[in-house]
Structure 1
């Protein structure tokens, strides 16, 4: 309390002094918002939640795809057919209407496929009697070889007979389950034919009006985004069509070479086995070895060990010819993926989608990488003079550190 001359007494309150402690006084507008965690932790947290959002989006996409997988399979088959037959349709369209050219190309492709199946069936039917005798002799030779004792283990004919009886008993015991499983597959057969019909229907319009459909889609987008979508779509289709056509050409070449080798070695079922090699070419890294093993087993059972070895060597040489000559020549610059990426893609596709995933994985990765490569902007690489300047700047620092 203080007295002022000529006035009343005033009560004054003195505010307590604020002690400033080093490190304790902070800006209340900033503390607790930006500086409550280290910079590296904030950066890591920002990247982490973004990665979680991306992972969640991927899971949602795969879940949706799983529910409509037959639809996507049909579209994928239609795109493959369109990529393979597009050059023929463009050539035929020079002298006839586009729809007529599409019909001629599709009918020709279907007749080729049916002719291939007929050739395989006729080969099996015409060689069946001879095959039965050859397989009986081959299995007898294999059994004699196993009983000879030249291997670390020994298998007797009694053991082989016991294995056959065990297999027969298992089939008789589980015959009801096998029949019910076969009956449950009836729906799958219907789904397969439905998928093929839908793929054929889509392929007709992709070949006849594909350009018009793509133009219509671009016109539905805002004008500022059309050029980006046009560039991405062109890059993706260029890569996908090149991959599809190149794979078909390589598969036909491998199947023809396999048929020649199997015919020269007089291996039975050379036509079905060459078709198996043709189908295996569509599955990178897995299809070729699987077809080779099957062909070697047939050659072993029919003609003996040396025939199986020669078949394995011949198909392996075909694989080397395909990897070192056909792939660079036919695919060219359209599909350039490192073998490690192919192996990872095929493995991941097989784990996620089985055989279908293994077939789709590589073209899907190729298209995504092609679009990314076309849309991204790379910084110019350093010249040799810039690298020399960097080395000169680093050397004095290293010398100063060593002196300390």
Structure 2
């Protein structure tokens, strides 16, 4: 090495350094994006819910619009859907109200049966310990009454935020259903001409995957809810309809949602009907999990992106860590959409390369024009 010259750097280190600073820039941008989304997460949730409603109701509105004006068809579709949801909630509320007295008595008796069961072998718990736990719970509620009241009051602010989010989701869904295609065309026209083609390919792939996943997960959730509701009704477990609705909502979190909802049903069955019925409900968790994992998802979700179970599990956990319940729900469709867009763009690039190679091959096979020297034009004679 000559004096004053910089030391030689291995090519591997030079390449690693080049990738390292680029990864730092990308990581900083991703972190800033997630921080921005976290600051305005209500807007993101509202738009996501609007897209879910659009994926579910856009086909219905298209059918109704064949005989009615588009605006009237969208209004009838939205009003009918809202009436259906409110009817289901009213049915659940009526079921809870009718079973409230019986449920309180059964729970009181069920708690006593659980205490007696814990006092017998193999647990042999001291009855005074159980009574002490109940006394401590009552003392905790009494001593922290002001804190609980303040939390309830602060929860009213969260209720306002939830209502505002639902209102924005409903408003955006109406606009998406009515003229979502024109909105997408306007957005695409704002992009540079060089990326409009890729944006069109990626956008179509993303929407196709999102609608397929939404339709599939709703069908899977409805099937699980019907199976759970019928099974709990046959077993005589109280609150079968609300528990079935809980199963429907929990099924939107893949892998872990259904077991959690059925665990709640098992606790209700244990308190109301005893250990035998609770054991049957626990066995139901295994059966429904097998049906969902090996029958429903392979059949129903075949039009959406098929992700490996490990990817689904990691996505759900990462989403729950990042944004709680909402993140767990959004994680899998987000990963599916991203992978679908990546696959569509890669396939488009491969198609373009293949087309370019075929064009070059065709030009080479045509050869030179008639009367032209195959060696090409000769330079002028400068002598």
TM-score, normalising length from structure 1? Answer: 0.84
Is structure 2 residue 236 aligned with structure 1 residue 266? Answer: yes
Of 35, 39, 63, the match for 2:11? 39
CA distance in 2 between partners of 1:221 and 1:59 (Å): 24
Is structure 2 residue 109 aligned with structure 1 residue 137? Answer: yes
1:353-396 deviations in Å (ceiling 9; x for gaps): 1111101100100000000011115889xxxxxxxxxxxxxxxx
RMSD (Å) for aligned C-alpha atoms: 1.6
SS at match of 1:255: helix
Is structure 2 residue 131 aligned with structure 1 residue 124? Answer: no
Give the corresponding residue for 1:158.
Answer: 128
CA distance in 1 between partners of 2:326 and 2:2 (Å): 64
CA distance in 2 between partners of 1:96 and 1:55 (Å): 50
CA distance in 1 between partners of 2:46 and 2:2 (Å): 67
* Alpha carbons 1:258, 1:315 under 8 Å: kept: no
SS at match of 1:351: helix
CA distance in 2 between partners of 1:296 and 1:273 (Å): 10
Give the corresponding residue for 1:352.
Answer: 322
Larger radius of gyration: 1
CA distance in 1 between partners of 2:311 and 2:290 (Å): 19
* Alpha carbons 2:212, 2:303 under 8 Å: kept: no
Higher relative contact order (Cα pairs below 8 Å, separated by 6+ residues): 2
1:184-243 deviations in Å (ceiling 9; x for gaps): 111111010001011100000100000111111112223222111000000000001111
* Alpha carbons 1:120, 1:271 under 8 Å: kept: yes
Give the corresponding residue for 1:252.
Answer: 222
Figure out how many residues of one structure are paired with residues of the other and give that number.
350
SS at match of 1:94: coil
CA positional deviation for 1:25: 4.7
SS at match of 1:164: helix
Give the corresponding residue for 1:89.
Answer: 61
Is structure 2 residue 173 aligned with structure 1 residue 203? Answer: yes
1:52-97 deviations in Å (ceiling 9; x for gaps): 1111011110111111111111100000000011111111111111
CA distance in 2 between partners of 1:157 and 1:98 (Å): 68
* Alpha carbons 1:137, 1:302 under 8 Å: kept: yes
For structure 1, which runs of at least 5 residues remain unmatched after alignment?
A: 1-23, 381-404
Give the corresponding residue for 2:371.
Answer: none
Give the corresponding residue for 1:214.
Answer: 184
Structural mapping, 1:230-245, within 5 Å? 230-245=200-215
SS at match of 1:332: helix
Of 279, 283, 288, the match for 2:249? 279
1:275-300 deviations in Å (ceiling 9; x for gaps): 11001101112211110110000000
* Alpha carbons 1:300, 1:307 under 8 Å: kept: yes
Give the corresponding residue for 1:400.
Answer: none
* Alpha carbons 1:350, 1:358 under 8 Å: kept: yes
* Alpha carbons 1:84, 1:245 under 8 Å: kept: yes
CA distance in 2 between partners of 1:213 and 1:135 (Å): 54
1:304-323 deviations in Å (ceiling 9; x for gaps): 11100111212331221122
CA distance in 2 between partners of 1:193 and 1:137 (Å): 38
Give the corresponding residue for 1:15.
Answer: none
TM-score, normalising length from structure 2? Answer: 0.88
CA distance in 2 between partners of 1:228 and 1:338 (Å): 26
Structure 1 moving runs of 4+ over 4 Å? 377-380
Structural mapping, 1:3-402, within 5 Å? 24-25=1-2, 31-32=5-6, 36-148=8-120, 150-151=121-122, 153-377=123-347
CA positional deviation for 1:157: 2.6
Is the helix fraction higher in 1 or 2? 2
